[in-house]
Structure 1
Amino acid sequence: MTLLERLKAETRAEHDRIERTVDLDRLTATLAGYRAMLVRLHGFHSAWEAKAAEVVGGDDLFRRRRKARLIAKDLARLGMDEEEIARLPRCHPLMPLSNEAEAMGSLYVVEGSTLGGAVIARAAERRLGLTAETGCGFFRSYGRETAAMWRSFGTRLLELSSPAVDGIVVASAKRTFEVMRIWLSEAR
């Protein structure tokens, strides 16, 4: 079993719990609900990116995957000014990210959520009339490059894989799912 297969299998329960937390119908039912979820996502991504940057900040793989700025743009397009966005709450406490293996396990969750973002983007467009230019840029972050970005992440993860590292990566992914689930559930 590859590390990607192990991650998928061993984080299934955590993935299912977070999907129940992020109710797509509720998220896209009203502009206010959608914006409230973006506020929570901004709080997670802003804090997570700062923490991950301490470990892998100089890495091109990480730099290309930073998304807090996209959420901030969406919030601005939905009527928030820069000062309001700067004062938004940040997710705390975060999971520990003290080495590359923990950062990559955590990034597995963040990157995986990008794949699901396409589903949310379609629903937001259909139900709320939002496009990447009018408040749905985060959920369309990679556009046509989504599959290629996932593959490049998977390649890097498999290069890191070893018996000593894999358990650390999986444990970090599980913790990240749980931290994200708790943080996002507070938006309900």
Structure 2
Amino acid sequence: MSEALEGSAREALRAATAAVHARLHALPPLRALAEGRLDRPGYVALLRRLLGFHRAVEAALAAAPSLSPWGIDPAERRRAWLIEADLAVLGAAPEPSGSSALPPLGSAARALGCLYVAEGSTLGGRHLARALDGLLPPGGAGRRFLLGHGARHGALWRECCIALEACGADPARRAEILEAAAESFAAFESWFPAPGAVRLEPRPTLAS
């Protein structure tokens, strides 16, 4: 077995994107969300940046070569509309913020690398949704994006992992997957302001 095929595709993806993962967790809006410190204006700003990125991803995947040979339908995984629904609950217009070029997705392998980034954002979403308990009323309203695909979340993630392993069994395709994933993470990171540019205030309670 060649060195390129040692370990699973997901292990290779985790290793290739570890540095950018660490930087993303340190971004002020995402860190504040995880720690339950994000106020309402901050949450709206975060959703608008997420909306810009996911709209761009969905457009890129729609224009990419078909992933049906790998058992994937990107259309059923779209979540930009969930962000729009969350913004509506908050009384905010769905105006995306930020912009950055996504990598060209000229092959199914590159499309899967980009999809890995978009789908991976659903992991841990339920924990982040609970971090909004002091900001939003109980239930899913206002946090539908973070709740991901709902009851289908587990099945869709497994399908994504199966596709990554099958496509990534070929060394050349695996290299494309890794490259596109790293570039997609970098594009996502560029949607956010530099650390220190986000103002955080004490979060109001529901009773205030």
Q: What interval of TM-score do these two structures reach, taking the shorter chain for normalisation?
A: 0.7 to 0.9
Q: How does 1:9-28 map to 2 (within 5 A)?
A: 9-21=15-27, 22-23=30-31, 24-25=33-34, 28=37
Are residues 130 and 42 of structure 1, via their aligned partners in 2, closer, same or farther at CA, if it must alter by over 3 Å?
farther
Distance 2:24 2:189 in 1: 5
- Tell me if structure 2 keeps the 8 A contact 1:28–1:128: no
- Tell me if structure 2 keeps the 8 A contact 1:27–1:33: no
The aligned counterpart of 1:113 is: 121
- Tell me if structure 2 keeps the 8 A contact 1:132–1:138: no
The aligned counterpart of 1:64 is: 76
The aligned counterpart of 2:43 is: 34
Distance 1:61 1:76 in 2: 27
User: C-alpha displacement at 1:25, in angstroms?
Assistant: 4.9
User: C-alpha displacement at 1:89, in angstroms?
Assistant: 4.1
Larger Rg: 2
Are residues 120 and 130 of structure 1, via their aligned partners in 2, closer, same or farther at CA, if it must alter by over 3 Å?
farther
- Tell me if structure 1 keeps the 8 A contact 2:82–2:145: yes
The aligned counterpart of 1:94 is: 102
Are residues 140 and 56 of structure 1, via their aligned partners in 2, closer, same or farther at CA, if it must alter by over 3 Å?
farther
Are residues 130 and 61 of structure 1, via their aligned partners in 2, closer, same or farther at CA, if it must alter by over 3 Å?
farther
Q: How does 1:143-182 map to 2 (within 5 A)?
A: 143-161=150-168, 162-182=170-190
- Tell me if structure 2 keeps the 8 A contact 1:3–1:158: yes
RMSD of aligned C-alpha atoms? 2.2
**Which of 125, 141, 146 pairs up with 1:139?**
146
- Tell me if structure 1 keeps the 8 A contact 2:58–2:78: yes
Moved more, 28-37 or 130-139: 130-139
User: C-alpha displacement at 1:88, in angstroms?
Assistant: 3.2
1:18 alignment partner AA: L
Using structure 1 for the length normalisation, give the TM-score. Answer: 0.87
Moved more, 90-99 or 65-74: 90-99
1:16 alignment partner AA: A
Report the 3-state secondary structure (helix = DSSP H, G, I; strand = E; otherwise coil) of the residue aligned with 2:73: helix
User: C-alpha displacement at 1:145, in angstroms?
Assistant: 2.8
Consecutive unaligned residues of structure 2, counting only runs of 5 or more, are 1-6, 199-208
- Tell me if structure 2 keeps the 8 A contact 1:55–1:103: yes
Distance 1:5 1:25 in 2: 24
1:122 aligns with 2:130: yes
Distance 2:139 2:115 in 1: 23
User: C-alpha displacement at 1:65, in angstroms?
Assistant: 1.0
Consecutive unaligned residues of structure 1, counting only runs of 5 or more, are none
- Encode CA deviations 1:118-169: one digit per residue, 9 max, x unaligned: 2211101x22124564210110121233222211110111121211111110
Distance 1:95 1:57 in 2: 17
1:7 aligns with 2:20: no
Report the 3-state secondary structure (helix = DSSP H, G, I; strand = E; otherwise coil) of the residue aligned with 1:153: helix
Using structure 2 for the length normalisation, give the TM-score. Answer: 0.79
Distance 2:152 2:50 in 1: 21
